[in-house]
Amino acid sequence: MAEGRKGLAVLVDPDRIKDSADLDWVSGPGFEAVHTVLLGGSLVTEGSMDVVASWIRERTDAPIVLFPGSPNQLTAEADALLFLSVISGRNPDALIGKHVEAATRVRELGLDAVGCGYMLVDGGKTTTAHYMSGTLPIPGDKPDIAAATALAGHYLGQQCMYLDTGSGAPQPVSAEMIAAVRAAVPCPVIVGGGMTTPDDVMDAWAAGADLAVVGSAIERDPQFLQAFAAQDTPAERRG
């Protein structure tokens, strides 16, 4: 991503994709506004990472970046991998354990692994991400905790920070928390969860997010991207 440029990512959960037609929106109106496709989920039980990634690849040249909830969510069909360490929690498996299991396979697949400090934030309900990680989220009204956690992750060498209230959360990460993390670290800041309108994306950008992630909103409303593209302007994407 160019310096100062804001980006929009879409999150695709393989379990939600039953056949290639479910991804027709990827080549549809408004998709030109998308910077990155994230692929994965907290719990993938049915969807094939390989097949879904290949279907996405047929429809777009946008980078496909894995957003894995476990070591079995890997595929060579992707361009890169967010090597997520749940730094908001104290579960050793989510901090480093699963990463040890996955590391050799990541190298064998030739994936570009990007170290990412993943911070779960309370967005109004317990989400699958909270449950599967076995961790408590950061309280949504505690931007100071989020900022200190991000700074610790930065000092530990994480290449980016990801603030997430989780798929289907009633509330997005607050502007105050995004701004606090943005002020604390020099690395890219990714924000996801609870964003249901184009304005939510714009608000995340304005608060300091470099990449805003939308998933459930597109599943509910296939016209989301078209509405977003109509509202988005180059000026709004400047940092």
Residue 160 has pLDDT above 80, yes or no: yes
Residue 141 has pLDDT above 80, yes or no: yes
Judge whether 165 and 194 are in contact, CB under 8 Å. yes
Judge whether 38 and 67 are in contact, CB under 8 Å. yes
Pick the CATH number of 7-226 from 3.20.20.390, 3.30.70.1560, 3.40.50.2000, 3.40.980.10: 3.20.20.390
Beta-strand ranges (E) seen in the chain are 7-12, 36-39, 64-66, 80-86, 112-120, 160-164, 189-192, 211-214
Residue 234 has pLDDT above 90, yes or no: no
Grade residue 211 by pLDDT with cuts at 50, 70 and 90. Answer: very high
Grade residue 94 by pLDDT with cuts at 50, 70 and 90. Answer: very high
| Exposure string for 45-67, b = 16+ CB within 10 A, e = fewer | eebebeebbebbbebbebbbbbb
Grade residue 89 by pLDDT with cuts at 50, 70 and 90. Answer: very high
| Exposure string for 79-111, b = 16+ CB within 10 A, e = fewer | bebbbbbbbbbeeebbbeebbeebeeebeebeb
Give CA angle at 54 (94, 107), nearest 5°.
45
Q: What ranges do the domains of the chain cover?
A: 7-226
Residue type for position 132: M
Give CA angle at 160 (157, 166), nearest 5°.
125
> Which residues share a beta bridge with 189?
161
Range in 44-48, 90-94, 103-107, 178-182 with the lowest mean pLDDT:
44-48
Is the pTM above the cut of 0.75? yes
> For the chain, what percent of residues have pLDDT higher than 70?
94
Residue 237 has pLDDT above 90, yes or no: no
